[in-house]
Amino acid sequence: AQSVTQLDSQVPVFEEAPVELRCNYSSSVSVYLFWYVQYPNQGLQLLLKYLSGSTLVKGINGFEAEFNKSQTSFHLRKPSVHISDTAEYFCALFSGGYNKLIFGAGTRLAVHP
Amino acid sequence: DTGVSQDPRHKITKRGQNVTFRCDPISEHNRLYWYRQTLGQGPEFLTYFQNEAQLEKSRLLSDRFSAERPKGSFSTLEIQRTEQGDSAMYLCASSSTDRGVTEAFFGQGTRLTVV
């Protein structure tokens, strides 16, 4: 079975501080990994994705993530957050054998002034 | 292209009523997915279509739920005899298999409240 675990349900942080949102996955086959952001009462917007190649991927809004196969992790980072980054963040995996995205429970990032 | 479009954005219905939601995917996308998201949770897979064929249904999709994609374009999700537990955000997504599925694009969702 495949699964995604987001290790923190909430992450409070001050504006301009760095942040890391943690994601671990479980799969017996190769996967693609994604981070999505969701603002209140909105759909999901793709931040970044790892398909293959370089393990450090850069996304929109200054976010980046590192794929670590040995640790089965795909943590999301941003060196300096803004108030506007306050949102729910979802890690997800896709495997061709399952033909669908499997999501973690989400991490609520709250940026305080 | 305006992306994935869902209608309505919000729906309030009384318990026991039937509701239908519509999703218009990105025009060249052959795959269409439905997900359900309850408060504080990640989206949960319900079903997906490749063109007009419904290829997989989750156990979450009880017999009160039915989804169609009659011409391989837009899709509808119907819930019959709604229950309070059906209250959730229903998300639609689409993707293309032309070069392998590498990304799913989501709509804004339909928020259902059953009172």
Q: What is the pLDDT of residues B85-97, one digit of tens each?
A: 999 999 999 998 8
Question: Residue A70: CB partners within 8 Å, gap ≥ 6?
Answer: none
Q: What SS3 class is residue A85?
A: helix
Whether omega for the bond prior to residue B25 falls within 30 degrees of 0, making it cis, is no
Q: Which positions of chain A have pLDDT values less than 50?
A: none
Q: What is the largest CA-CA distance in chain B?
A: 44
- Between chains, do A106 and B40 touch, taking CB under 8 Å as contact? yes
Residue A94 C-alpha, separation from nearest chain B C-alpha, in angstroms: 8
Q: Between vectors from CA A42 to CA A37 and to CA A48, what angle results, nearest 5°?
A: 20
Tokens of A110: 């709250």
- Per-residue pLDDT, A60: 94
Pairing label, strands A10-14, A107-112: parallel
- Rounded Cα distance, B5 and A112, in Å: 33
- pLDDT for position A90: 97
pLDDT score at B87: 97
The three-state secondary structure class of A61 is: helix
**A65 interfacial to chain B (CB closer than 8 Å):** no
Best residue of B5, B31, B38, B41 to probe chain A, by most A CBs closer than 10 Å: B41
Q: Distances in Å between the alpha carbon of B21 and those of B24, B87, B113? A: 10, 13, 13
CATH topology of domain A3-112: Immunoglobulin-like (2.60.40)
Question: What's the pLDDT score for residue B99?
Answer: 65
**3-state class percentages of chain B: helix first, strand second, coil last, to nearest 5:** 5, 50, 50
Which residues of chain B are modeled with pLDDT < 70? 1, 99-101
Q: What is the pLDDT of residue B7?
A: 97
Look at residue B33 in the predicted model and tell me its pLDDT: 95
